[in-house]
Amino acid sequence: MPTSAQASSLEAQIEQWRSYLRRRQAIHAVDVAELEDHLREQVAGLADAGLAPDEAFLVAVKRMGDLDALSREFAREHSERLWKQLVVAAPDGASPARVRTDALAAFGLALAAAAAIKLPALFGMRLDRDVGFYARNLGLFVLPFLAGYFAWKRQLGWRMLGGLAVAFAAAAVFANLYPFRLNGATEALTVLHLPIALWLPVGIAYAGGRWLQGGGRMDFIRFSGELFIYYVLIALGGGVLTAFMAMMFEAIGLKAEPVFATWLLPCGAAGAVLVASWLVEAKQSVIENMAPVLTRLFAPILTAVLLVFLGTVLWTGRGIEIERNVLIAFDLLLVLVLGLLLYSLSARDPQAPPGAFDVVQVVLLASALLADALALWAIVARIGEFGFTPNRVAALGENVILLANLAWSAVLYLRFLRRRAAFASLERWQTHYLYVYAGWAAVVVVLFPPLFGYV
């Protein structure tokens, strides 16, 4: 609950926004009261997700700008001053101690994650030798700390904390109990799918009491995309810094690469997840501007690439090569399409009417569906020729899951374009499908190793 100081600061900002609209009401013929109700709903939802009241107001006004021209003008004219208020003062308008506490908690857990990845060394494990062990447990070195950060921040109850603990404990058992064959297929599948399965408990911790609401799950999808952006930026900066440090040590005749490879790189990669998550939480209003730009930039490009590919397939009459690496790359492309779709949904105002970009999204979905059908045909052909293996069955299941998601998403999007369904139906479909991804990943981790003899 916001303090009296926070509530007073928020009401002052809403009053400023209301006054701005009323001065221009005669010109634009807007219903200020209706817009204010919508604004307060947005602010309340963002505050429930963990934003401070002042941050929630700024983000809500920017979202309102997609729906209302006056709010867009207000956001453009006042965003710089409001942003300075958020940076110079405490973001919630009250206690700077809260800001410091959040930062200390995040950086403390980042150090804990960095220490966790080095903890097995006390028992004789080495990164360069025990690659399988570290790869299987990579998510367990980091994600419990991330879930713990959100559990602390959202003040989750003991029952939910117990459920999260059970989920991570079970993951640790299945990652380390099975007698995996060295460099076997089932071990590689566990490495790939365990973090996907564990991302669901992280989402539950992130959304807290709002997980069962579609808005809470959509906020987690938005957070996941923003976390990826921040993490990539941190990784790029860390790579440049590491290169300069190596060059400096080499200038005095010391080889620093072994230290970087065994300490700086793994510890930094683990801790950066917590730091990036804290940045997303602290500066969500910055990413609010980035998300629409990124989706509008890459969605048309990817659509054009898929259309050119499908046209080439028709022109040449060639099917997809059934080599494993090609199919893996194809699956990653389809995951990228789905990721762009999810991120664009999370960045879009659900109240806005259909537009040109929505048509681009439907074309992207249709082309991805055709590409997925080609990949699925190639997988079935490979299974028919060479038989069942863990990799082929996993690829078959994932393509079927992607095909079902993309197909129904295209149907819902077409209904929205024809104004026969609300945009919220598409959001609900995507947020409920999170269980399918996590469920399939859990099946691969738990059942595939014994079914295929741990090969």
Query: Per residue in 192-208, pLDDT tens?
Result: 999 999 999 999 999 98
End-to-end CA distance of the chain: 53
Q: Which segment of 11-15, 124-128, 175-179, 356-360 scores lowest on mean pLDDT?
A: 11-15
* In contact, 333 and 370? CB cutoff 8 Å: no
Question: pLDDT value at position 342?
Answer: 82
- pLDDT reading at 375 higher than 80: yes
Going by pLDDT thresholds of 50, 70 and 90, the confidence category of residue 75 is low
Q: Which segment of 17-26, 42-51, 62-71, 345-354 scores lowest on mean pLDDT?
A: 62-71
In terms of average pLDDT, the best of 152-166, 256-270, 310-324, 378-392 is 152-166
Q: Which segment of 17-21, 119-123, 157-161 scores lowest on mean pLDDT?
A: 17-21
- pLDDT reading at 286 higher than 60: no
Q: Which segment of 31-35, 153-157, 217-221, 298-302 scores lowest on mean pLDDT?
A: 31-35
pTM recorded for the entire structure: 0.76
Question: pLDDT value at position 186?
Answer: 93
**Closest among 218, 203, 99 to 146, alpha carbons compared:** 203
d(CA 134, CA 210): 33
